[in-house]
Structure 1
Amino acid sequence: MTTIPVSLGARSYDVVIEAGLLARAADWLAPLSRGRRMAIVTDENVLPHLATVQAALTAAGVASEAIVLPPGESTKSWAMLEHLTDRLLELGVERGDHVVALGGGVIGDLVGFACSILKRGCGFVQIPTTLLAQVDSSVGGKTAINSKAGKNLIGAFHQPALVLIDPNVLDTLAERHVRAGYAEVVKYGLIDDPDFFGWCETHAAALIEGDADARLYAIAHSVAAKARIVAEDERETTGARALLNLGHTFGHALEAEAGFSDRLLHGEGVAAGMALAYGYSAARGLAPQGDADRVAAHLRAIGLPDGTAAAGITADGETLIAHMLHDKKMDAGTLPFLLARGIGGTFLDKSVDLADVRAFLDQAAA
């Protein structure tokens, strides 16, 4: 078992990682139940794991009630937020209770946001069941829903009380979703850890194919990297946490063009976005072209998109820039970009000319 602390003063919590942990989830959940019924929010794809968690709680003498939502990005909506909060209120959830978010990033984001506003804030526990959620979205307290204007524009910072990660649940995950989650793993190498990027180049195929040791190492390394950055900059005010958005400005624009649907998964959008960020950095003379080519080649080799065309997006630069203008990171009319001086050399650039980005996107599409 690996335990990684997220050090945030009074809001600190642990991320516990262990193969087979799901069957023993009650060891950690029962003390948080206060002898009351626990609400578990999940989606229709996670029902086998729900049964495991509920059986563990029942054996520990803890009653539970499941709220099962539809799967997919469209669940991160106003309608589902209203439905979920109404159900939690019907169940009598109190401020001192902890709601369990059992699922991928969609469930974690929605449940976290619901708990941030329910009775002005109640507790929640993340039990992520996808690789993307395990290495990224379950840690750090970013919660949100989507709106017509864009992705994650309605949300709040609300830290979980605990994160429980069982790598074994990935055995039931479709390979496409494992690949999409891997984009958030390799991101940590591209941000500031070239040695880890080298590890990814060597071990990515094994990780995706189900190698337990590779998965465990990648999850623990990624969580530790994110925990360090979040502890330094919890609310993205100093710029350190902004590095975690590598690939997201380009990627969210691609996702928006795809209608935030299964046509382009979030991790696939991030992969294409990282390739574009490195390609744009090379085009501006900031990063060696060889590094941009190396990133794109690695993504292609493991079946992830390395640009707009590979992501199935045919929109021109003007259209994609229009999506970017709804980005939540806009500040005084300026959109910061995560660019790179090379592999492991990501930095925040607040002086990017959107007309230059538009021309680059048009050229990349061509």
Structure 2
Amino acid sequence: MSEVTTIPVGEDYDVLVGHGVSARVAEVLPQGVARVLVVHGEPLASLAAPVITALRAAGLEVHVAAVPDAEAAKTVTVAAGLWATMGQAGFTRSDAVVAVGGGSVTDLGGWAAAAWLRGVPVVHVPTTVLGMVDAAVGGKTGVNTAEGKNLVGAFHTPAAVLCDLGHLATLPPADLSAGLAEVVKGGFIADPRILEIVEADQSAVQDPGSAALREVIERKIAVKAKVVAADLRESHLREILNYGHTLGHAIEHHESYRMRHGEAVAIGMVYAAEVAHRTGRIDAALLERHRYVLGLLGLPTTYSRAGFDELLAALRRDKKTRGATLRLVVLDGLAEPGRLEGPDESLLREAYAALA
């Protein structure tokens, strides 16, 4: 096993980053666990197998549930199937769930754990860049509904997060690049060094085995860990992590979740930058830097497959909205996130038109 980086999330749990860390899954479970439900995406049986082997070697009773790939996993129906498995196996409050997969699987597995007996331990083993730097860290869990993304869920802090860098070698290049949108987000809202690393050598950042990719992953995890440790339940500070997500989630919903999350967030960040520029919060250079950095990674920075009216209803259902007041996370400068409350609809339309 290579060197392991430990990133604490306050005093609640640690994120371990390194090659081979998924083999430590039994070590990070709370004492007293007897049964474990391993939830994994259907295409990821080979990545889940070493986790299952490690748990059984530790003497644990292991049950396995393969769930649909990507956003198709995040439904109440799939979650109910996990609860049925736990119920039939006699899971108690001291037993646990281990989620192996991308952000959709950790969202689903975390919510299944949060709801079973009002909360059992969960360990996340994210297998994608997106899962490592965002979905698995922070305790947000949930599923989608016909009305929108992540509208049903709970805050449920994991016992640990194991980011096994060896899993990234299995990722299709487009999925790796899409996950880097969340990494870039961390650069714009908190750690500009991330942007500098991408600008210096975008090819290295997209190499699954590179030191550059490991560094930006660890930097983004550190950004999120600091924020969520200070504001687990998104009462104020944590909202900055939604930079690019207001329009991004609306686009995902419009596309019936066929667009990668990171691609939608990339477009959403450019949109937020357009809004901020039009309100005088950021200059043209910072707006253009959004397009430049995201473009280096092959991520989309334009969008024209929906009219603004088609997206407006989803925008108003965004979780940052309060009553009838739409709230957007914007920048007041590089690494200076802020909020824009109740923007004029004409401004939002102008910014959206610029995306085309």
TM-score class, shorter: over 0.9
Equivalent position of 2:137 in the other structure? 139
Equivalent position of 2:315 in the other structure? 324
Shifted more, 216-225 versus 156-165: the winner is: 216-225
Distance in 2 separating the partners of 1:270 and 1:358: 18
Equivalent position of 1:224 in the other structure? 222
Does the Cα contact within 8 Å between 1:37 and 1:63 map onto a contact in 2? yes
Equivalent position of 2:15 in the other structure? 15
What is the deviation of 1:25?
Answer: 3.2
TM-score, normalised by the number of residues in structure 1: 0.92
What is the deviation of 1:363?
Answer: 4.2
Shifted more, 322-331 versus 57-66: the winner is: 57-66
Does the Cα contact within 8 Å between 2:325 and 2:341 map onto a contact in 1? yes
What is the deviation of 1:61?
Answer: 3.0
User: RMSD of the TM alignment (CA)?
Assistant: 1.6
Say which of 179, 184, 187 aligns to 1:189.
187
1:209 is paired with a residue whose SS is coil
Matched, 1:34 2:35: no
Equivalent position of 2:257 in the other structure? 260
Does the Cα contact within 8 Å between 2:207 and 2:213 map onto a contact in 1? no
What is the deviation of 1:168?
Answer: 1.0
Amino acid at match of 2:7: I
Amino acid at match of 1:14: D
Distance in 2 separating the partners of 1:235 and 1:268: 26
Shifted more, 277-286 versus 329-338: the winner is: 277-286
Distance in 2 separating the partners of 1:354 and 1:306: 21
Distance in 1 separating the partners of 2:299 and 2:129: 15
Which deviations, in whole Å up to 9, do the C-alpha atoms of 1:178-218 show, x marking residues without a partner?
Answer: 01110111111100222332223224321212243122212
2:107 is paired with a residue whose SS is helix
What is the deviation of 1:362?
Answer: 2.9
Does the Cα contact within 8 Å between 1:288 and 1:341 map onto a contact in 2? no
Equivalent position of 2:5 in the other structure? 2
1:41 is paired with a residue whose SS is strand
Matched, 1:246 2:246: no
Equivalent position of 2:285 in the other structure? 290
Matches within 5 A, 1:1-366: 1-7=4-10, 12-29=12-29, 32=30, 34=32, 36-237=34-235, 239-261=236-258, 264-309=259-304, 314-365=305-356
Distance in 1 separating the partners of 2:346 and 2:281: 18
What is the deviation of 1:62?
Answer: 2.9
Distance in 2 separating the partners of 1:351 and 1:192: 24
Does the Cα contact within 8 Å between 1:254 and 1:308 map onto a contact in 2? no
What is the deviation of 1:347?
Answer: 1.1
Count of aligned positions: 353
Does the Cα contact within 8 Å between 1:115 and 1:123 map onto a contact in 2? yes
Distance in 2 separating the partners of 1:176 and 1:154: 28
Which deviations, in whole Å up to 9, do the C-alpha atoms of 1:317-348 show, x marking residues without a partner?
Answer: 11121221121221021111011133322211
Does the Cα contact within 8 Å between 1:103 and 1:130 map onto a contact in 2? yes
What is the deviation of 1:276?
Answer: 1.2
Distance in 1 separating the partners of 2:314 and 2:234: 22
Does the Cα contact within 8 Å between 1:316 and 1:362 map onto a contact in 2? no
Distance in 2 separating the partners of 1:78 and 1:25: 27
Distance in 1 separating the partners of 2:342 and 2:77: 38
Distance in 1 separating the partners of 2:190 and 2:24: 35
Shifted more, 122-131 versus 58-67: the winner is: 58-67
> Where does the alignment leave 5 or more consecutive residues of structure 1 unmatched?
none
Which deviations, in whole Å up to 9, do the C-alpha atoms of 1:66-113 show, x marking residues without a partner?
Answer: 111111202111111211211121122111111101111111111111
